[in-house]
Amino acid sequence: MPVIRALSTVAKQALQGFGCECQPFTIAVRSISFSPRQVTSDASFHSVSFSETAHPKVLITGKFLGQTFSLDVVSCRKQFGNNNVILSDIRKPPSHVFHSGPFIYSDILDYKNLREIVVNNRITWLIHYSALLSAVGEANVSLARSVNITGLHNILDIAAEHGLRLFVPSTIGAFGPTSPRNPTPDLCVQRPRTIYGVSKVHAELMGEYYHHRYGLDFRCLRYPGIISADSQPGGGTTDYAVQIFHDAIKTGKFECNLKPDTRLPMMYIDDCLRATLEVMEAPAESLSMRTYNINAMSFTPEELATEVQKHMPDVQVTYKVDHVRQAIADSWPQNFDDSNARKDWGWKHDYDLPELVQTMLNFIGSDSRVARVN
Ligand SMILES: NC(=O)c1ccc[n+]([C@@H]2O[C@H](COP(=O)([O-])OP(=O)(O)OC[C@H]3O[C@@H](n4cnc5c(N)ncnc54)[C@H](O)[C@@H]3O)[C@@H](O)[C@H]2O)c1
Ligand SMILES: C[C@@H](O)[C@H](N)C(=O)O
């Protein structure tokens, strides 16, 4: 008897044996052949995951913008229970993250360890943030390929094997110079010119393949450049839009590494993380796609500087172009078309450029005043 039919038979007998009335949350198992590493001696239990509990048990890989104590985590923990959201990374968490709830070391390249974490903690949702961003990826292509592609394969296999709901973020960087730029629709040519972009297109395609082939509940949003107040940028092309706030408050001067007229889609962190939670909670039948663009605003360094100077007129902004980042930015979308996300699951952003600048200056300004006092 083919393995998979055996597994589903065992599953049915097991459930009848327990007289379990509840509808188990099982993997939508199709006639498939699992790759060898997914079928282990106790495989019969893998196809019968625990019945849907009242709330998901969430594992988040890789801090997000240093914002792991962000809306995403705070609202997840409020909604699902503090101990039901586990953060993981290969780097030590800041103390406020460490003391806010469960944190565990996890290297996504260590398949066995990742699998143990998922099983030992009965994880049902996986939010996979670990990755190398665009500029840092170009500086270390082999590490980016390993983390962003091999690491992703581990995540996909474990999610499919254990019937997890999986979120993987993609990016404006998943498009390239031959993609329409203004606006960029969900479905169009994607030939990115960075290892980061290539790895994110791979993530989109592999996630959708696992969804159609193995029934994996894969969900993906293409994030614009994300701007958050309490973190240092992670080595991306849009980092300038975070750095300007820190430098304006700290020194009153900012040297921008992109040309003044470089237009890119951007989003405030709270909008981004709310979108992530909303798409994760959307009923599957509302999703006509599994990978969506989400948009909030698009601006140039010049427009951002002008908005900052409305609050801090003395801030001096100069330009010293980083040609690697400039070439990447020139190949990316200028505006995102996110009409499918707005139609399918009601996406809408809250922060435009004036609200973003006001919020960022208030947050960083109050932080630096606190720092000066201390
Ligand atoms: N920041 C943005 O503007 C933006 C935009 C679009 C998409 N995204 C996506 O969001 C995610 C997080 O981005 P970010 O800005 O927080 O990046 P970041 O570089 O700040 O964080 C990435 C995290 O991954 C971790 N990591 C690296 N190698 C790892 C490994 N082997 N195992 C486990 N963790 C590992 C790092 O320690 C780091 O904490 C990424 O997938 C990125 O593609 C970010
Ligand atoms: C845009 C996003 O993916 C990231 N901030 C980068 O620039 O690489």
- Give pLDDT tens digits for 85-111: 999 999 988 787 788 889 999 999 999
pLDDT score recorded for residue 101: 87
Catalytic amino acids? 196
Query: What are the DSSP calls for 20-74, one per residue?
Result: --S--------S----GGG--TTGGGTTSPPPP-SS--EEEES-STT-TTSHHHH
Asked whether residue 285 is domain-assigned, the answer is yes
370 three-class SS = helix
The number of distinct structural domains making up the chain is 1
Residue with CA closest to ligand 1 atom 15:
65
Q: Is residue 91 part of a domain?
A: yes
Range of 204's domain?
3-44+53-230+267-297+334-351
Residue nearest to atom 5 of ligand 2 (CA): 236
Domain-embedded: residue 100: yes
Q: Is residue 319 part of a domain?
A: no
Whether residue 309 is contained in a domain is answered as: no
Give the per-residue pLDDT at 64: 61
Decide which of 72 and 192 is more confident.
192
The better pLDDT of the pair 202, 33 is held by 202
Amino acid at 207: G
Atom of ligand 2 nearest to the CA of 328: 7
Distance 21 CA to ligand 2 centre (A): 47
The model's pLDDT over 177-190, given as tens digits with 9 standing for 90+, comes to 999 999 999 999 99
The CA–CA distances, whole Å, from 7 to 3, 158, 198, 224 equal 6, 17, 36, 42
Q: What is the dihedral of CA 307, 311, 313, 314, to 10 degrees?
A: -110
- Does 153 have pLDDT greater than 60? yes
Cis bond before residue 183 (omega within 30° of 0)? yes
Q: What is the ipTM of this complex?
A: 0.99
Q: How far, in Å, is the centroid of ligand 1 from the Cα of 133? A: 7
Q: The domain that contains 117 carries what CATH number?
A: 3.40.50.720
Predicted confidence at residue 309, as pLDDT, reads 98
